Amino acid sequence: MKNIILSIGLLFATALSTAQNVFQASGERSVLRTELPKYTKIDIDSRWEVTLVNEKNDHIYIDADNAIHPIIKATVEDGTLKISLETPKGVNFVQTGGIKLKIPIKGTSELKMQSGKIRSEEPINMPSYKMLLDFLSEIDLKLNINDLDLEIGSCREGNLQLNCRNLTFNAGSLAKLPISGKVENLNFVSNRIIQLETYDLKIQNAIFNTSGIVKAKLRIDGTIQGKPSGIFELYYKGNATNQIETNSMIKVIKEEK
């Protein structure tokens, strides 16, 4: 009996200790503007909800619970904007209540984001840009970028609108992400397992240099070139001329309009 009572007491003490190690949100939110040194790169490694805005790169907006604001730290290190949570000592878990960031993109050249959601309130207009999006739950972007280097690991939902002259695209599993717009020259490079279906993206010329497992359905009206390896299946609509050598592993199939 004493052992049972002791065990119950230990469980109660452990539960109480765990409860005390949770940093809780207050339920009241506010938006704070944080002034920063100018940054040229953005590196987001936490599960934030990010909105890109066409403003100068010397501040950000943080929409968060009032109890969480003090532990959100935004810094610029070697020109790179980084945002993190500084968890208080002894705290095992932080109930943030959700953190939303508005990040100005003017004057920057590169953005990296590992997870979370990203969107833009209005079209992002840039001469050139590099964007690496690893494993996002949602992408809702309008990108008017002349020369775009875009890498997306995977995304489950959203809407991606592209208007590019030159697009270097490294893609993973994007079967559920609608992609539309216009691309004059597409350079498709990847060693991933790729699923991509986007007849709403009008491509003039496409080059495929892939080494993974590719199954893509695209609209192409100019030329199809490249030296894909691995397993490659391209189904296309449009008037493109195929210059890729096909075999049992490399297939290029023209579909009816």
Residue that the structure tokens 């790729």 belong to: 194
- How many C-alpha atoms does 162 have within 13 Å on its Cβ side? 31
Supply the pLDDT for residue 20.
55
The segments of the chain whose pLDDT lies below 70 read 1-20, 257
Q: Structural domains in the chain?
A: 30-116 (2.160.20.120), 123-257 (no CATH)
Q: How many CB atoms lie within 10 A of CB 248?
A: 6
- With b for 16 or more beta-carbon neighbours within 10 A and e for fewer, the 110-129 pattern comes to ebbbbebbbebeeebebeeb
3-state SS of 64-120?
Answer: EECCCHHHEEEEEECCEEEEEECCCCCCCEECCCCCEEEEEEECCCEEEEEEEEEEE
Is 113:44 a contact under the CB 8 Å cutoff? yes
- With b for 16 or more beta-carbon neighbours within 10 A and e for fewer, the 18-57 pattern comes to eeeeebebeeebeeeeeeeeebebbbbeeebbbbbbeeeb
What is the SS3 assignment for 128?
A: strand
Supply the pLDDT for residue 66.
94
Distance in angstroms between the alpha carbons of the first and the last residue of the chain? 79
Query: What pTM was computed for the model?
Result: 0.87
Rg of the chain in Å (alpha carbons): 23
CA proximity to 152, closest of 184, 196, 122: 196
Computed from CA positions of residues 64, 69, 73, 79, in that sequence, does the dihedral angle turn out positive or negative? Answer: positive
Is 177:197 a contact under the CB 8 Å cutoff? no
CB within 8 Å of 222: residues ≥ 6 apart? 203, 204, 205, 206, 240, 241
- Checking DSSP bridges between strand 93-94 and strand 41-44, what pairing results, if any? unpaired
CA proximity to 228, closest of 197, 174, 192: 192
